[in-house]
Amino acid sequence: MNEIITVKDVSLIYHSKKFETLALKDISFKIEEGDFVALVGPSGCGKTTILSLISGLLTCSSGEILVNGLKPDKKSKVCGYMFQKDNLLPWRTVEKNLYVGLEIQHTNTKEKKDYALSLLKKYGLENFKTKRPDELSGGMRQRVSLIRTLALNPKILLLDEPFSALDFQTRLKVCDDVLKILKDEKKTALLVTHDIYEAVSMADKIIVLSARPATIKNIHTLTFGRDKTPFVRRDMKEATDLFQKIWSEIQDEK
Amino acid sequence: MKNDIKNNTGKKNKLIDNKEEKNKQTLNSEIDNKTEKKSNKKNKPKYSLEHKKFLNKIRLKTFFVIFIQITILIAFFGLWEILVNNGVLDGFIYSSPSRMINTLAELSRSGELLTHSLITLKETLLAFVIATGIGFLVAVLLWSNNTIKRILEPYIVVLNSLPKIALGPIIIIWFGAGTKAIVVMGILIVIIVTIINILNAFLNTDKNTILALESMGANKAQIFFKVVLPSSFPDIISTLKINVGLSWIGAIMGEYLVSKAGLGYLLVYGGLVFDLDLIMTVTIVLCFLASLMYFLIALLEKIVKARH
Ligand SMILES: Nc1ncnc2c1ncn2[C@@H]1O[C@H](COP(=O)(O)OP(=O)(O)OP(=O)(O)O)[C@@H](O)[C@H]1O
Ligand SMILES: [Mg+2]
């Protein structure tokens, strides 16, 4: 398989008038096409920053990033970025919110819209199509935001804690679903999560970051239960062992 | 016989009453049917008893508020009239509602009311439209280019704090003592506030939402039309409402200076000849016209909101 994301010796400094913040320091990793990679680390270490760099919203201070063989560019439409905050447009209905990305990319064909609607149905939000975002619960809004990202059918998905506002039950279900969609459609995904169990049950690879300035603490490649659903995989012995390991790795940083 | 007649009429009345009641009932049921059909179309569920109670409560409250508002208005003018009539207030200095009505009738008979109102209205509308339009465009320009914004910021601040009336003599010398000068005065008063308010609204757009759209590949124009403009909509409407008031100020102030025609001119004239009836009447007319324009803006707001 070929590498779709290459991050090499990347550092990033946030500049403001009063001070500078070194957020990332010499980060290097590779992601192969079709991989599902989880990014875990203590809060505020720079996970969102990494996603922003890959999506092209930020440019790295030093080092090099290649996405699909090219420098990251937000106009390239390769990446679909789901933000930590849902960022739905409050004046649009749920349905119209789903079409925002399609409108921007001038691909709002009937086919794509239908696909978005089918996802809406799948996630049990069909009846809320004509509602405004502030009439939905936090978990529902997050699902809409996820569907909005999926509707664009990007090659790479950057997911920033996509399931954090979901209740436990829905969360497990949505995890299964999302992973299935991603695997069926051979998508590459980079998932930021603070839930180590989520990482362990879904990922092919887990990147553990240190506290800020983030450096790579460890990269785990998961070989067990790759044909199983996250729900099943979560309870495998290897999973619990790995959980313990990553837990202590992050704990060291705090 | 008499009794008979009485009885008959009584019966007739009752009959009529019954008929009317029946009519009312059928009307009500028709209305009910209609609303039901409508709600069926929209697939709205029937309201529960609690919700109906809730709606009734709101309606009652609205009714109460409007009732009090009208009462205050009537009481105010009524008291005014009574005080002047009883000699507590001097009608020559305070005028009175009845004297104002007479003046109003006179002014409209002679056609003066219409001509002067139209002149002022024209000046106000011109100032309003031009200043709001240009102000909006400038705000867009400043939003889209941070460097231009930073360069122009101090000038805008200074112009904002300058009392525009101070520019009166200059404006009259440059634009002549006529409509042009008045409109320019109005524009100067309205435009700076428009720029500042609308630009602020643009700049207050949620940064994260903009980033989210950028990550989908949105260009500046798309970000403007899909996020910035709709999220600034409430602020833009309130700016328009403020501008209504300001452009009236501009027009009246301009007319004070130029003093040739318009409601402002009538006010100055009324002051010179000590005609309080004229002054009060024109003030009321001004109130009426200004609130009419305000309500038009409110209507525009409703229409735009309903569309989106
Ligand atoms: N725009 C910014 N300007 C300055 N500093 C920033 C900015 N954004 C983030 N930072 C800093 O960079 C560091 C990393 O931020 P980042 O948002 O990437 O963390 P994170 O790992 O996503 O945290 P969390 O798990 O809480 O979401 C933080 O310490 C933060 O203070
Ligand atoms: Mg984050």
What rounded mean pLDDT belongs to chain B? 86
Residue B194 in domain: yes
Q: What is the pLDDT of residue A53?
A: 93
CA distance B219 to B193: 28
Q: Which ligand is nearest to the CA of A39?
A: 1
Residue B93 in domain: no
By C-alpha distance, the chain B residue nearest A92 is B308
pTM for this entry = 0.81
Low-confidence ranges of chain A (pLDDT < 70): 1
Q: Please judge whether A91 and B211 are an interchain contact, meaning their C-beta atoms are less than 8 angstroms apart.
A: no
What domain range includes position B202?
Answer: 101-307
**Residue where one domain finishes, among candidates B85, B110, B141:** B85
Does residue B43 register a pLDDT over 70? no
Residue B145 in domain: yes
ipTM of the complex: 0.87
Summarize pLDDT for B65-111 with one digit per residue, the tens: 999 999 999 999 999 999 999 989 898 889 999 999 999 999 999 99
Q: What is the pLDDT of residue B27?
A: 44
Do residues B176 and B225 both lie within one domain? yes
- Contact of A74 with chain B, judged by CB distance below 8 Å, is answered with yes
Q: Which residues of B touch A49 (CB under 8 A)?
A: none
Closest by CA to A174, choosing from A153, A149, A203, A143, is A143
Name the pLDDT band for B174 (thresholds 50, 70, 90).
very high
The predicted model gives B294-304 an average pLDDT of 90
Name the pLDDT band for B22 (thresholds 50, 70, 90).
very low
Do residues B253 and B216 both lie within one domain? yes
Higher pLDDT, B37 or B78: B78
Name the pLDDT band for B209 (thresholds 50, 70, 90).
very high
Do residues B137 and B175 both lie within one domain? yes
Do residues B33 and B143 both lie within one domain? no
Q: What is the pLDDT of residue B7?
A: 45
Higher pLDDT, A142 or B31: A142
Do residues B137 and B277 both lie within one domain? yes
Q: What is the pLDDT of residue B139?
A: 96
Do residues B142 and B7 both lie within one domain? no
Residue B92 in domain: no
Residue B155 in domain: yes
Q: What's the domain count of chain B?
A: 2
Q: What is the pLDDT of residue B208?
A: 92
Do residues B73 and B143 both lie within one domain? no
Domain CATH number, residue B207 = 1.10.3720.10
Report how far ligand 2's centroid is from the alpha carbon of B65 (Å): 49
**Residue where one domain finishes, among candidates B38, B55, B85:** B85
**Residue where one domain finishes, among candidates B54, B85, B116:** B85
A57 lines ligand 1 (CB under 6 A): no
CA distance B127 to B125: 5
Summarize pLDDT for B215-239 with one digit per residue, the tens: 999 999 999 999 999 999 999 999 9
By C-alpha distance, the chain B residue nearest A154 is B216
Alpha helices in B43-96 (DSSP H): 49-85, 91-94
Does residue B144 register a pLDDT over 60? yes
**Cis check: omega of the bond before A213, within 30 degrees of 0:** yes
Do residues B166 and B80 both lie within one domain? no
Q: Which ligand is nearest to the CA of A16?
A: 1
- Contact of B301 with chain A, judged by CB distance below 8 Å, is answered with no
Does residue B9 register a pLDDT over 80? no
Higher pLDDT, A183 or B272: B272
Going along chain A from its start, the domains and CATH numbers come out as: 3-78+156-253 (3.40.50.300), 84-153 (no CATH)
Q: What is the pLDDT of residue A227?
A: 81
Q: How many CB pairs under 8 A join A and B?
A: 53
Q: How many CB atoms lie within 10 A of CB B204?
A: 12
Q: Which ligand is nearest to the CA of A42?
A: 1
Contacts 24+ apart (CB under 8 A), B203-209: B203/B143, B204/B232, B204/B235, B205/B231, B205/B232, B206/A87, B206/B231, B208/A83, B208/A85, B208/A87, B209/A87, B209/A89
- Contact of A99 with chain B, judged by CB distance below 8 Å, is answered with no
Report how far ligand 2's centroid is from the alpha carbon of A48 (Å): 4
Do residues B34 and B61 both lie within one domain? yes
Residue nearest to atom 29 of ligand 1 (CA): A44
Higher pLDDT, B37 or B241: B241
Q: What is the pLDDT of residue B28?
A: 45
A17 lines ligand 1 (CB under 6 A): no
- Contact of A213 with chain B, judged by CB distance below 8 Å, is answered with no
Q: What is the pLDDT of residue A6?
A: 92
Q: What is the pLDDT of residue B34?
A: 44
Do residues B80 and B105 both lie within one domain? no
Q: What is the pLDDT of residue B31?
A: 44
Q: What is the pLDDT of residue A239?
A: 85
Confirm if B110 and B125 have CB atoms less than 8 A apart: no
Tell me how far CA of residue B221 lies from CA of A56, B29, B62, in angstroms. Answer: 19, 52, 42
Does residue B20 register a pLDDT over 60? no
The predicted model gives B157-186 an average pLDDT of 92
- Contact of A56 with chain B, judged by CB distance below 8 Å, is answered with yes
Do residues B161 and B291 both lie within one domain? yes
The predicted model gives B274-282 an average pLDDT of 93
The predicted model gives B261-290 an average pLDDT of 93
The predicted model gives B39-57 an average pLDDT of 75
A25 lines ligand 1 (CB under 6 A): no
Do residues B126 and B259 both lie within one domain? yes
Q: What percent of chain B has pLDDT over 90?
A: 72
Q: Please judge whether B212 and A87 are an interchain contact, meaning their C-beta atoms are less than 8 angstroms apart.
A: yes
A53 lines ligand 1 (CB under 6 A): no
